[in-house]
Amino acid sequence: MKLSRINWVTYKEAPAEAEVISQQLMLRAGLIKKLASGLYTWLPMGLRVIKKLENIVREEMNLIGGQEILMPMAQPGSLWKQSGRWDQFGPELLRFTDRHHRDFCLGPTHEEVVSDLAGTLLQSYKDIPCTFYQIQTKFRDEIRPRFGVMRSREFIMKDAYSFHLDSQSLEETYLDMRLAYTNILNRLKLNFKIVTANSGAIGGDKSEEFHVLANSGEDLIGYNTEFDYAANVETINIAVSSMTENDELPGALKEVETKDKKSIEDLAKFLGVEKSKVLKTLIYKGVNDEPIAILIRGDHEINPLKAEQIPNIKKPLELISQKDAKEKFSLELGFVGPLGLKIKMYADADTKNMKNFICGLNQSDKHVINANWQRDIDLPPFLDLRLAQSGDHVQTETTSFVINTARGIEVGHIFQLGRKYSESFSLKITDQDSSEKTLTMGCYGIGIGRLAASCIEQKNDANGIIWPESIAPFRVVIIPITNKDNRNMIEDESFKIYHFLISKNVDVAIDDRELRPGNKFADADLVGIPIRIVLSEKNLSKGQIEIKYRDQNESFLIDIDNLEKTILES
């Protein structure tokens, strides 16, 4: 491809709103263009990356016997009512009505549509096991679209669905898929972990997520390499042994003025104590308008999945607003505490050993110090309600151990769904003995745009993106350095090399734009082309050209005769 034929614009600066490096570099390198919140156009350079990535995914899916299909993005609401998700999915599901006033939605995922398809395609035991997959655009009306294509509203996903007679067959395909995903991430040279996950809104029995490790990741993973353990912290049960005994003697309960010290940080700083000395009281909405208080140590965080198990609490978990707290329940958020609090309370198990703690006094600008359970506050039910963190002891079925944590970007998710959808869609086949059997299902998703962004998060430098060779927009770029006297000669030589590489099936671009060499070098580095070939009069006079790999600092010279060997074998 001649770069002069591509409408490619690069930028020195990223827009201020770009929070993470992949978003900044994708925008600067002219890979994507923002249309509106969470909506992006893939530009010519960017789409080359996406198409290569899709092909890697496609190859791996085909290798495990996946059949590619393409389902519609617009889906009838009736199917979502049949699965029960029309009411469960919440505002991420973008709903609309067609001209005949029928309910529709834009597909955030395709379990319903593929189940409808399976109902007609799969009739006999001979039709299964089978796996369908598609690479298609999804829409989720994310509450906070951010990080560019990593959390957008419209995004490309490869989603696959498998159908089986029994759980053993499901397990086999699940493991094939697990290996295919592992191969995809290895082909992209990503550093990743496979972690135990929660099945979330999709539902089902067993699931694992594929996380690319990066500080910008929105998820926290707890892991212990020795025990070959990795799990999303939201799924981790904390062992009782992690709670240290505390033998402090009870001090005298004392009221303290804490004007404007509403946050735990401000309060702990003001009182000169660690955040772990503060008992935080959070008020959540209940069903029937009854608020529910959760008490947790100041340095810990609520795990919504655990808190949502509390009887009568509203799902998804939602804090009450400042206005409702004040007007409906006379609560001053920031100064709420368990002393004399008249609403139902639950406490995280790790607060049980707290002694002489600080908590709100349910009056503006007041807290108490030296509060103690039983003497001052009746014991609430203690439950495991918090998110695991580094240093916590984890309890598995067989053993307990300490975990470390790392941040991860969830790029893929594989589920054993079981019969959730096959039951609501009556997916039955006739078995060998003529009996009717309900199918069991698996589903498997991998985000194409998020995967591309993850590659950038893991590999970049001050000059730009460092793509793995397999998905760079071009593998090689040729840059001729010309002046008005040698222009024809250098361009002729450059095009000779260009056509030679094309004849060898190398994905090569030639930078024939009317730009200074410095700008061409900068653009090639920014967009992350793995191999750069520079032709100059001085080197050509010696029969040589300069080669530079994007992920190395130094360039080197080779004889033109060695080009094929150097490029094709690198």
List residues binding ligand ATP (CB under 6 A).
109, 140, 142, 150-152, 155, 157, 200, 202, 410-413, 445-447, 449-450
Distance, in Å, from the CA atom of 482 to the CA atom of 490, rounded to the nearest integer, reads 6
Is the distance from CB of 84 to CB of 111 less than 8 angstroms?
no
Q: Which of 45, 62, 292 is nearest to 176 (CA)?
A: 62
| H helix or E strand, kind and range, residue 248 | none
Q: Which of 21, 64, 284 is nearest to 174 (CA)?
A: 64
Distance, in Å, from the CA atom of 569 to the CA atom of 114, rounded to the nearest integer, reads 43
Q: Which residue of the chain is nearest ligand ATP when measured via CB?
A: 447
Q: Which is nearer to ligand ATP, 178 or 352 (CB)?
A: 178
Distance, in Å, from the CA atom of 439 to the CA atom of 101, rounded to the nearest integer, reads 33
Min CB(106)–ligand ATP separation in Å = 13
What are the backbone angles phi and psi of residue 347, rounded to the nearest 5°?
-120, 145
Q: Which is nearer to ligand ATP, 308 or 564 (CB)?
A: 308
Q: What does the longest C-alpha to C-alpha distance in the chain come to?
A: 93
Min CB(89)–ligand ATP separation in Å = 11
DSSP 377: B
Is the preceding peptide bond at 316 cis, omega within 30 degrees of 0? yes
Distance, in Å, from the CA atom of 138 to the CA atom of 157, rounded to the nearest integer, reads 7
Min CB(202)–ligand ATP separation in Å = 6
- CB < 8 Å & 24+ apart, contacts of 377-382: 377/338, 377/339, 380/295, 380/338, 380/345, 380/346, 380/347, 381/346, 381/347, 382/346, 382/347, 382/348, 382/349, 382/351, 382/352
Min CB(413)–ligand ATP separation in Å = 3
Q: Which is nearer to ligand ATP, 157 or 310 (CB)?
A: 157
Distance, in Å, from the CA atom of 106 to the CA atom of 202, rounded to the nearest integer, reads 16
Q: Which is nearer to ligand ATP, 207 or 258 (CB)?
A: 207
Q: Which is nearer to ligand ATP, 451 or 529 (CB)?
A: 451
Min CB(210)–ligand ATP separation in Å = 7
Min CB(476)–ligand ATP separation in Å = 30
Beta bridge partners of residue 41, listed in sequence order = 33
Q: Which is nearer to ligand ATP, 32 or 377 (CB)?
A: 32
Q: Which of 244, 296, 299, 301 is nearest to 275 (CA)?
A: 299
Residues across the chain: 570
Q: Which is nearer to ligand ATP, 298 or 442 (CB)?
A: 442
Min CB(310)–ligand ATP separation in Å = 22
Assigned token pair, 128: 């299964």
Q: Which is nearer to ligand ATP, 234 or 365 (CB)?
A: 234
Assigned token pair, 410: 């969830």
Q: Which is nearer to ligand ATP, 60 or 493 (CB)?
A: 60
Q: Which is nearer to ligand ATP, 446 or 481 (CB)?
A: 446
Assigned token pair, 32: 């994507």
Q: Which is nearer to ligand ATP, 298 or 412 (CB)?
A: 412
Distance, in Å, from the CA atom of 532 to the CA atom of 551, rounded to the nearest integer, reads 11
Min CB(190)–ligand ATP separation in Å = 13
Distance, in Å, from the CA atom of 544 to the CA atom of 531, rounded to the nearest integer, reads 16
Min CB(521)–ligand ATP separation in Å = 32
Is the distance from CB of 276 to CB of 299 less than 8 angstroms?
yes
Indicate the burial class of 399 (C-beta count within 10 angstroms; 0-12, 13-18, 19 or more): exposed
Q: Which is nearer to ligand ATP, 61 or 150 (CB)?
A: 150
Assigned token pair, 386: 């918090």
